[in-house]
Every structure is written in C-alpha cells, then in structure tokens.
Amino acid sequence: MAFPLTVGAKTEGFESPRLLKVVDVDTFIAGRWRPEHCVLLADEVHERLLGAPWGALCGRPNPQWHAPWIERPALEPGFLPGDVIEIVPGRPNIRIAYRRGQRGNVLFATERCNSFCLMCSQPPRQLADDWRVNHNLQLVELIDDDLPNLAITGGEPTLLGDGLLRMVEACASRLPRTRLEILSNGRLFAAPSHLDRVADIGHPDIQWNIPLYADVASVHDYVVQSRGAFEQTCAGLVRLAEMKQAIEIRIVLHKASIPRLVETARFIFRNFTFARHIALMGLEPIGFTLANRDALWIDPADYQDELVEAVGFLVQQGMAVSFYNLPLCTLDRRLWPFSRQSISDWKNIYLPQCEGCSARTRCGGFFASISEQWVSRKVAPIATSIGG
C-alpha cells in the first residue's frame, strides 16, 4: 500500500507555517508533547478536553472552537495519531512530515546538491533553503523516540554545514534510540573541515549511506555528472572511516553501473573493507531517471550474471550485502536471501501481474511511480511456495 505524502484539507486560523503532532486522547496522554505542538482529532472528544491550548483542532467544523482548525481529510487514511503534519496557510494541501510506524521517514535537509546524478530522484535546485534546519529541528521534537530508523536526505545534506551538525545533535539528544542514516555523497569529507566535528557529537547510532557507481572516475563522474566526484567520494570514505563512522556503500543498478559491477565490488572490498554494509538498489523511475531512460534502463533480467558474481564475491569475503527495490521474480534465486523489503511504505505497490504470487509477503514490490516501460519482462507470479 502506498500512502500519500500530502492530503487535501481546508484549514483556518493559521497565521504562519506550523508543524503539529497529530494526537487523539490516548496518543496525547502516552506522549510527551505539549498541547501547543499538537492537533487534536476532536470529533467525539469531550468538550472539557477541547479547552486546552491546542495547536489546532481537527474535525467537523465547530464555531465554538477557538483554536486554529483543520478539516478532516476526505481521502482515507488521511493522517493518523502519531503523525506530524505541516500546515502552510493558504495551501490546500497538508504535508505529512512524519508517519508513525512506517519505514522511510526522513528529515529533508536541502534541495541543493554538488552532484547532478543521471538518476536523481530529487532533482536539485540551487536556492537558499537554510530555513529547513530549524524546520527539521522542530520536527525532531515531534518524532516518536521509539522510531527505529530516520534518514537525513536531500540534495546533499553536508551542504548545510553547521546546520547538519545541529540536526545530528538534536537527534542524538532527542532520538538516541533511533538509527540515523545520512544519505550523502561524502565529497565534502574529502578534506578536513568543520564537518569533521560530526564525529565528536557522539551520536550513538549514525550511518553514512554513500553511493559509489564504479571503480573508476570516468564512469562514476559520468553518472553523477561532476568531474572530480569519484576521487572526492573515495577520499571522503577513507576519512569517515578514520573518524570511526559507520558506512554503507550504495550502488544503484543501471546501464552505466552494471558493466563494471564486478570490478566495483572488488574495488570496494580492497579499498573500503571497513564498510559495514553494501546496498544494491534497483532504479526508481522518478526525477531525472525519466529523462535519462536510454542511458539508464536495463532490464534486471539481463544483469543477473553480473549480480551473482559481484554479490557472490562480496559475501564470500564476509561483507554484508542487501538488495533493495528489486522484486524477487527478477532476482536469481541464489540472491533471494539478500533481498530486503525496502521501498518506503508510502511509495510501495504491487502490480496486477503480482496476483497469485506466493512470494508477495517477502517481496518489496514496486515503486508507486512505476510505468510499463520500467517493468522487467520477467515479472510474473512465483508459483511454488518457498521455505522461510
């Protein structure tokens, strides 16, 4: 099921943008947030409770309410207790900034980037969006502290500089039990800088997810459309390791990265043995990917040999490897143990062809954005039942 990121709902009484924790009575009592930071789902709530200084009330229109008001979204499920919503006065849509109990919650750091990847799912814009730092700091206050995983994405988060450090600090103190994964190209770590202080913050569980698309600059720099990027990312990887940071290396599987995949695996093992994990990702048909289909699209059915060899090599050397975003029917069976269900719940669907597939509960499915020309010819239900 793909959950939408925004919902349409009328709002009234808001003077400025607000982030609010969605609560019902039980959620509010169980939580640690002041009413000023919450929007109460007010239908069927006793009058007495409505008098508290709520950030907003949500429900059927009631002229007696003094707090800012949000209409109950028409489309199910709308937003649920525990979620965090963002209201901008005048906008008809409410953004769901955090979904309780779902995979894939992020802190969006910036739209700026110092790369320009062919398959970028979030095409960069060069604008001053440092306001996002404070926005994210507020959001961190409203996130459940039992959230297992939270990502910082962008754009390129390290471009925030000190702002990134403040976000990491906030997560370290407010969400110490949440693994923080920062999606970064690592380029700004190539040389010593103020950013190195991130190692001193002492966040208990931070991981840097850093993409590497080849073992040579000519291919990697082409994929990220930036000369010098490969050497900077490699240097950044070494320095982050020296700063004792946990690192995951990511490779997006497409026409440019597949030809050298086996050599890339060898390169990673020889030079970045410290990597805690290697993530091989299927292509997400969104953003720049759509414009670069000819350069990028290769049917997964056509690269299983390279995949088995590269993964086989890494696994045999004792490195941890996972697949994301590749449905099981397109993967060689020997690779199934490494496939993870990873597409964020809000962008995850199954296709009509999946009807009757016995592996559905184990399979990550597809991106909601998918269209026919991005579907492998091998997608078909898996007939026999598979053990564990």
Partner 1 sequence: MGRFQPPSDFRPSAEYRLLPFRFRRFYASRVLLVNEIGEHAVLHSEQFQAFVRHEMDADDPAYPLLESRHFLSPGDAALPLDRMALQYRSRKRFLFEGPKLHIFVVTLRCRYCQVSRRPDTAAHRFDMSLEIAEQAIQHVLEAPSSHPTVEFQGGEPLLAFDTIRHIVERLDAAATQRGKTFRYVITSTLHDLDDECLEFMRRHGIVLSTSLDGPESLHNRNRPTPGQDSHAQTLAGLARARAVLGDGAVSALTTVTRRSLADPKPIIEEYRRQGFHSIFLRPLSPYGFASKQGDTLGYDTFEFLAFYRAALDYLIEINLAGYAMDEVYASLLLRSIWTPFSSGYVDLRSPAGAGFGTLLYNYDGGVYPSDEARMLAEMRDDSLRLGHVSDSYSDLMQSPVMQLIATGGVAESIPHCSDCAYLPYCGSDPVDSHARQGDVIGHRPSSAFCSRHMGMLDLLFEKLLCGDPDEMRVLRSWAAGRPSLADLELGG
H/E element, 246: strand 246-252
Pick out residues in 222-251 that bind partner 1 (CB under 8 A).
Answer: 222, 225, 227, 231, 234-235, 238-239, 241
Contact window for partner 1 (CB under 8 A) among 15-23, 106-114, 210-218, 322-330: 210-218
Separation between Cα atoms, residue 316 and residue 375, nearest integer Å: 31
- The minimum distance between CB 115 and partner 1, in angstroms, equals 12
Q: Which of the 8 DSSP states describes residue 8? A: E
Query: At closest approach, how far in Å is the CB of 187 from partner 1?
Result: 14
Residue pair 225/115 in contact by the 8 Å Cβ criterion: yes
State yes or no: residue 276 binds partner 1 (CB under 8 A). Answer: no
- In the set 12, 194, 317, 377, which binds partner 1 (CB under 8 A)? 317
SS3 290: helix
Site string for partner 1, 334-353 (x = CB under 8 A): xx------------------
The whole-angstrom separation of Cα 44 and Cα 233 is: 55
Beta strands in 345-387 (DSSP E): 348-349, 366-367
Cβ 296 to partner 1 shortest distance, Å? 11
Query: Binding to partner 1 (CB under 8 A): which residues in 153-182?
Result: none
Residue 318 engages partner 1 in binding (rule: CB under 8 A): yes
Question: Looking at beta carbons only, is 92 or 228 nearer to partner 1?
Answer: 228
Q: Exposed/middle/buried for 63, CB within 10 Å: 0-12, 13-18, 19+?
A: exposed
Q: Compute the distance between CA of residue 313 and CA of residue 207 in angstroms, rounded to an integer.
A: 24
Contacts of 314 (CB under 8 A, 6+ apart): 265, 268, 269, 278, 321
C-beta of 66 vs 270, nearer to partner 1: 270
* Interface stretch with partner 1, choices 130-138, 144-152, 156-164, 329-337 (CB under 8 A): 329-337
Nearer to partner 1, 159 or 311 (CB): 311
C-beta separation of 227 from 267 below 8 A: no
From residue 9, give the alpha-carbon distance in Å to each of 6, 162, 236, 347: 9, 36, 44, 21
Q: Does 269 bind partner 1 (CB under 8 A)?
A: yes
Binding site for partner 1 (CB under 8 A): 116, 118, 215-219, 221-222, 225, 227, 231, 234-235, 238-239, 241, 256, 260, 263, 266-267, 269-273, 288, 291-292, 295, 308, 311-312, 315-318, 333-335, 384-387
